[in-house]
Amino acid sequence: MSAPLLEVSGLRKTYVTKRNVWGKATQRLTAVGGVSFTLEPGRTLGIVGETGAGKSTVGRLVLRLIEPDSGSVKLLGQDVLAMPRKELRSLRAKAQMIFQDPFSSLDPRMVIGAAVEESLTVHADLSKADREQRSLDLLQRVGLRADQMDRYPREFSGGQLQRIAIARALANDPDFIVCDEPVAALDVSIQAQVLNLLLDLQAERGLGYLFISHDLSLVRFLAHDVIVMYKGEVVEMGPTAQLFADPQHAYTRKLLSAIPVAQPRRERARALSGAVRSSLIPPASLASAGVTQGGRPSC
Amino acid sequence: MLTMIGRRLLAAIPLLLFVSLFVFALLDLVPGDAARNVAGETATEEEVAATRERLGLNDPFFVRYFSWLVNALHGDLGTSLYSSEGVSSIIAQRLPITASLAVVALIMAIVVGLPVGILAAVRANSLVDRAVTALAALLMSVPPFVVGLILVIVFAINMDLFPATGYSEISDAGLGGWLQHLILPGIAIAAISAAEFARQTRGALVDTLGMDHIRTVRAKGLRQPMIIGKHALKNAGIPIATVVGLQVGRVLAGAVTVEFVFAIPGFGSLAVQSVNQRDVPVILGIVMVSAVVVIVANIMVDLSYGYFNPRTRTNA
Amino acid sequence: MQQATSGGPAGTGTSPSAEANVLEVRDLSVEFYTDNGWVRVVDGVNLAVAPGQTMGLVGESGSGKTVTSLAVMGLLDRRMSRVSGSIELLGRELVGMDEGSLADIRGSEMAMIFQEPRRSLDPAFTVGDQIAEVLRRHEGLNRRDARKRAAEMLDVVGITNASERVKAYPHEFSGGMCQRVMLAIALACKPKLLIADEPTTALDVTVQAEMLRLMNELQSDFGVSILFITHDLGVVAEMCDLVTVMYAGQVVEASPLYDLYERPAHPYTEGLLAAVPDAEAHGGRLLAIPGTVPAPWQWPTSCHFHPRCTYKVAGRCDVAPVPLDVTGDGRLVRCVRHDEIALKGVKQ
């Protein structure tokens, strides 16, 4: 049994929302409140939740792009939070991130060939020719052509830009990638292309993914295991198939029942029965999750 | 609301202190000898020295500054080195004149600048818009006194439509006469401000008109006058109001040279005169009064933000 | 095979009923003025919505669905766009109508809600004012009556404590509540047609579920027809009676709901259905449609979809513009091979 890629324990992050006259914090918002999980190599862990769940924050905490208040993060066996900046940089080569908006992560003045080359930090000792070759290989692997290497980001579509972002993420042979809503801004048919690419890469290279998304159907498709978050807390966690087949927590059930299914007969039958939505008695502590018995809205 | 006003006023105090100190120091560095000016050109060295002593000009810098400051805080702005009149009363005589000029100029600037800006925004990127933008840029590069001189030559001297110089009280010459004297200098000052208004209004409106909520208003079936007049302008209100605040300062500055050109006995020409004479107390008085006026105007603009954008109300 | 280029039966799957259609769009084309000159972005769209019906308008970016809806509402910038063809709302021709008459119809006979509800409300006015405004514009109510009706509308769309909330500003509301306010504004004057452009795309999934339920209820209460624009096939399945699919500026298919999903008529529809991760078991691959959507100035002169189509036949699909045909069962499809190929729908 190989070592886990990522071990997170008791991760917490709060933000100050109000200060008094003397600058002391009087009100805090808990963005992430005590999250723990493990990610094994070659597997995908999905983090699912709505706005304010804290899932993007978890992604950034894990790579130490934000400093947590408390908790521990072990990346490839090494303690990320105690590490000095310099070591962190070389560790980051092994743990990459791709974001929702591919356009904003690329320098508009740099051609994409150069952008990918720039990410080759670990292989700085390679000759220029070797680096160019490696960039070309990466771009071709994600489905772009050699003649596109000298084009600027604005000449590409959203789906292509996201593939370029993946190429950059792969530049240093990472062991795992945090994907923060990577396909949310893309059309459905393009989503499929990017997701297939991610799956292929995982099979080829044994990559681990932390897949953050609000879209449960995507997570169900991609992830081996799932974490459901609500307002910073982990509400339920487990193997994907099991969680979707038999959700334990009221919020998970609410979330699942809310996804519209692209099968009209099933969808209409569900809507008519309204069974899943209205027959639950939510635990008192979760009344704030807004699970209502039909009628008044929670939003 | 009151806390907001209070906080702004409190913040104004260090600003005023700084301005006074800065100007005091600046005046100290300016070449020229007030004592000599006061004593006269024919005075002997001893008489000049005696004058200097009398005027307290031999004291060290901070002594002079603090004595001025203490007096000013009691409301006493000192006396003119020249005429021995109280600075406060000199200013009080001149200020209303400049105030009338400023108000006329500001009104002209808004009445011309705002509609022109609206027109340019509504027809963005058309010929009209480009013409307006070019004209505004041109006007903004011409100093007020140049505009004033041109106006005097054309309209007052050649065409004899308006008087070239001077000022009359409403009580003497009636509203018509009063206005007559203020129109040309008003235009001279207002030209730049109108251009600034037009540009800022255009910019703010173009931004606002592109916003989703304006599309909603259109989808509701409202017509253009309501869309612009009620919704777009209110949302563009903050940048436009900000320009008003800035223009108050600009108009005061314009008044300085324009009053000189038109021989209007106002605050501005007093400024010119006292700088020439190195009449430090008067200069300081002028600067402080101007500073207070500009600060008050901008506080009022700040307060107006709450009307234009309700989101700012809770975060005073 | 019947050809339906312009005119022709407008409904699909519904018998020519005695009741007139609320909306009939025939051969609608829209051109935009760009740096490359006038470019066609919507090409020959046919669409019909019957009373009380929900018509889904499905497509991805570049399909022209939003531009079509804006053309119906008359919200396109007249200086930068040209609209040709016919748009009939309750029998009245909207194309070529003067702005004043259009403004009278907007908000009263037809209304629209948009994708980003928080940005669609005016931050400088209270929510009640914004609802009252449309009532005063079209029904001439005085301020007091309008305000009363506004509070009633807020209640109808499910906002608790409506009489107090009427005085609140949009920034005090969440996204879901803002969209409810938008619905209140849209339905206040009881229009016959509601156009909803991706109304739930920006909302959380649980909020979306409530919003869709609300829209269904309001539809039956108000008797309004809905043109529901979305890219989400799950939402379509829940909301729509009929579906029109657009690709690269054209209508490629129009079918009743179940037919669309179970027996799609156009290869693009088949591709869209296969790309939805929903029904796939873990570990399988999604069927992606290769290639990308062409920009309007890159549209092929023949079938717009053929470069990406798995069923294309050289010599037939790439030679001439493909007309919109009516199939035997009243469906619309734009494909030269539609009666030859059997396309895969979703599993039951």
- Report DSSP letters for C219-282, one per residue: HHHHT-EEEEEES-HHHHHHH-SEEEEEETTEEEEEEEHHHHHHS-SSHHHHHHHHH-GGGPPT
In this prediction, what percent of chain A has a pLDDT beyond 90? 33
What pLDDT is stored for residue C7 in this prediction? 23
Predicted confidence band of residue C127 (pLDDT cuts 50, 70, 90):
very high
Q: How far is residue A11's CA from residue A17's CA, in Å, rounded to a whole number?
A: 20
pLDDT in tens, C130-145: 999 999 999 999 999 9
Q: Max Cα separation, chain B?
A: 84
What's the full length of chain B, in residues?
A: 316
| First-residue to last-residue Cα distance in chain B | 7
- Summary count for chain A: helices (H), strands (E): 11, 10
- Nearest by CB to residue C108, choosing from B211, B212, B221, is B221
What pLDDT is stored for residue C69 in this prediction? 96
Distance of CA B10 to the CA centre of its chain: 22
The token pair that represents C247 in the structure block: 């690709």
Question: Which residues on A lie below 8 Å from C58 (Cβ)?
Answer: none
Question: Which residues on B lie below 8 Å from C185 (Cβ)?
Answer: 216, 220
**Interval C237-250 mean pLDDT:** 95
- Kindly report the backbone phi and psi dihedral angles of residue B258, in degrees, each rounded to the nearest multiple of 5, phi listed first: -70, -40
List of chain B residues with pLDDT < 50: 316
C26 contacts: CB under 8 Å, gap ≥ 6: C6, C7, C10, C46, C85, C86, C88
Mean pLDDT of chain C: 89
Contact C106 B235 (CB under 8 A): no
Contact status of A265 with chain C (Cβ, < 8 Å):
yes
The token pair that represents B147 in the structure block: 């505009």
CA distances from B113 to B104, B110, B197, B297, C221 (A): 14, 5, 5, 19, 50
Contact C105 B235 (CB under 8 A): no
* Three-state DSSP state, C286: coil
pLDDT in tens, A50-84: 988 889 999 999 988 889 999 999 988 888 888 88
CB atoms within 10 A of CB C175: 19
Contact C285 A196 (CB under 8 A): yes
Contact status of C335 with chain A (Cβ, < 8 Å):
no
Q: How far is residue C267's CA from residue C306's CA, in Å, rounded to a whole number?
A: 9
What pLDDT is stored for residue A289 in this prediction? 35
Chains B, A in contact, 3 or more Cβ pairs below 8 Å: no
**Chain C: closest CA distance from residue B1 (Å):** 18
Predicted confidence band of residue C123 (pLDDT cuts 50, 70, 90):
very high
Q: How far is residue C341's CA from residue C334's CA, in Å, rounded to a whole number?
A: 13
**Chain A: closest CA distance from residue C274 (Å):** 9
What pLDDT is stored for residue B113 in this prediction? 92
Question: Which residues on A lie below 8 Å from C209 (Cβ)?
Answer: 257-258, 260, 277
Asked if residues C303 and C322 have their Cβ atoms less than 8 Å apart, the reply is yes
- Nearest by CB to residue C122, choosing from B221, B235, B237, is B235
In this prediction, what percent of chain A has a pLDDT beyond 70? 88
Q: What is the pTM of this model?
A: 0.84
What pLDDT is stored for residue B314 in this prediction? 58
pLDDT in tens, B170-189: 666 677 777 888 888 888 88
**Interval A87-108 mean pLDDT:** 85
Question: Which residues on C lie below 8 Å from B218 (Cβ)?
Answer: 75, 106
- Kindly report the backbone phi and psi dihedral angles of residue C67, in degrees, each rounded to the nearest multiple of 5, phi listed first: -60, -40
Predicted confidence band of residue A281 (pLDDT cuts 50, 70, 90):
very low
Side-chain half-sphere of B282: how many Cα atoms within 13 Å? 28
Question: Which residues on C lie below 8 Å from B126 (Cβ)?
Answer: 79
Contact C231 A187 (CB under 8 A): yes
**Chain C: closest CA distance from residue A260 (Å):** 5
> A278 or C63: which carries more pLDDT confidence?
C63
Q: How far is residue B278's CA from residue B28's CA, in Å, rounded to a whole number?
A: 10
- Nearest by CB to residue C258, choosing from A199, A257, A265, is A265
Predicted confidence band of residue C348 (pLDDT cuts 50, 70, 90):
low
Q: How far is residue B131's CA from residue B134's CA, in Å, rounded to a whole number?
A: 5
- Nearest by CB to residue C346, choosing from A217, A255, A263, is A263
pLDDT in tens, B186-234: 888 899 899 999 999 999 999 999 999 999 999 999 999 999 999 999 9
* Three-state DSSP state, C49: strand
What pLDDT is stored for residue B157 in this prediction? 80
Contact A191 C232 (CB under 8 A): no
Residues β-bridged to residue A210: A45, A178
Chosen for mutation from B208, B212, B216 (greatest number of chain C CBs closer than 10 Å) is: B216
ipTM: 0.88
Asked if residues C226 and C219 have their Cβ atoms less than 8 Å apart, the reply is yes
pLDDT in tens, A114-157: 888 888 866 567 788 888 888 898 888 888 888 888 999 988 88
**Interval C183-190 mean pLDDT:** 96
Contact C124 B211 (CB under 8 A): no
Would the pLDDT of C12 be above 50? no
> Exposed/middle/buried for A238, CB within 10 Å: 0-12, 13-18, 19+?
middle
Contact B220 C185 (CB under 8 A): yes
**Interval C21-38 mean pLDDT:** 93
* Three-state DSSP state, A175: coil
Contact C205 A271 (CB under 8 A): no
> Exposed/middle/buried for C297, CB within 10 Å: 0-12, 13-18, 19+?
exposed
**Chain B: closest CA distance from residue C181 (Å):** 12
Would the pLDDT of C2 be above 50? no
Contact status of C160 with chain A (Cβ, < 8 Å):
yes
CB atoms within 10 A of CB B157: 11
Contact status of C220 with chain A (Cβ, < 8 Å):
no
Q: How many CB contacts within 8 angstroms connect chain B with chain C?
A: 71
Asked if residues B116 and B200 have their Cβ atoms less than 8 Å apart, the reply is no
Q: How far is residue C212's CA from residue C229's CA, in Å, rounded to a whole number?
A: 13
| Closest-CA residue of chain B to C116 | B212
Asked if residues B216 and B71 have their Cβ atoms less than 8 Å apart, the reply is no
> C45 or A275: which carries more pLDDT confidence?
C45
Sign of the CA dihedral A113, A114, A117, A118?
negative
Contact B217 C138 (CB under 8 A): no
Asked if residues C152 and C142 have their Cβ atoms less than 8 Å apart, the reply is no
**Interval C157-165 mean pLDDT:** 92
Asked if residues B220 and C129 have their Cβ atoms less than 8 Å apart, the reply is no
What pLDDT is stored for residue B219 in this prediction? 96
Q: How far is residue A139's CA from residue A163's CA, in Å, rounded to a whole number?
A: 8
- DSSP sequence for C132-196: HHHHHHHH---HHHHHHHHHHHHHHTT-SSHHHHTT--GGGS-HHHHHHHHHHHHHTT--SEEEE
What pLDDT is stored for residue B148 in this prediction? 85
* Three-state DSSP state, C37: strand
Contact B219 C112 (CB under 8 A): yes
Contact status of C116 with chain B (Cβ, < 8 Å):
yes
Neighbouring chains to C with at least 3 Cβ pairs closer than 8 Å: A, B
What pLDDT is stored for residue C208 in this prediction? 93
Contact status of A187 with chain C (Cβ, < 8 Å):
yes
Contact A260 C289 (CB under 8 A): no
Would the pLDDT of C205 be above 60? yes
**Interval C30-45 mean pLDDT:** 93
Would the pLDDT of A235 be above 90? yes
**Chain A: closest CA distance from residue C27 (Å):** 26
**Chain C: closest CA distance from residue A60 (Å):** 21
What pLDDT is stored for residue A123 in this prediction? 59
What pLDDT is stored for residue C9 in this prediction? 26
What pLDDT is stored for residue C249 in this prediction? 95
Contact status of C66 with chain A (Cβ, < 8 Å):
no
In this prediction, what percent of chain C has a pLDDT beyond 70? 93
Question: Which residues on C lie below 8 Å from B232 (Cβ)?
Answer: none
Q: How far is residue B311's CA from residue A141's CA, in Å, rounded to a whole number?
A: 49
Would the pLDDT of A279 be above 60? no
The token pair that represents C58 in the structure block: 């499905």
A214 contacts: CB under 8 Å, gap ≥ 6: A48, A49, A50, A51, A55, A181, A184, C204, C205
| Closest-CA residue of chain A to C270 | A189
What pLDDT is stored for residue C1 in this prediction? 30
Contact B221 C119 (CB under 8 A): no
- DSSP sequence for A36-90: EEEE-TT-EEEEE--TTSSHHHHHHHHTTSS--SEEEEEETTEETTT--HHHHHH
Q: How far is residue B176's CA from residue B252's CA, in Å, rounded to a whole number?
A: 24
The token pair that represents B129 in the structure block: 């818009």
Q: Max Cα separation, chain C?
A: 68
- Nearest by CB to residue C107, choosing from B211, B220, B310, is B220
Q: How far is residue C254's CA from residue B306's CA, in Å, rounded to a whole number?
A: 51
Asked if residues A226 and A218 have their Cβ atoms less than 8 Å apart, the reply is no
What pLDDT is stored for residue A296 in this prediction? 39
**Chain C: closest CA distance from residue A140 (Å):** 15
**Interval C263-285 mean pLDDT:** 79
Contact C123 B309 (CB under 8 A): yes
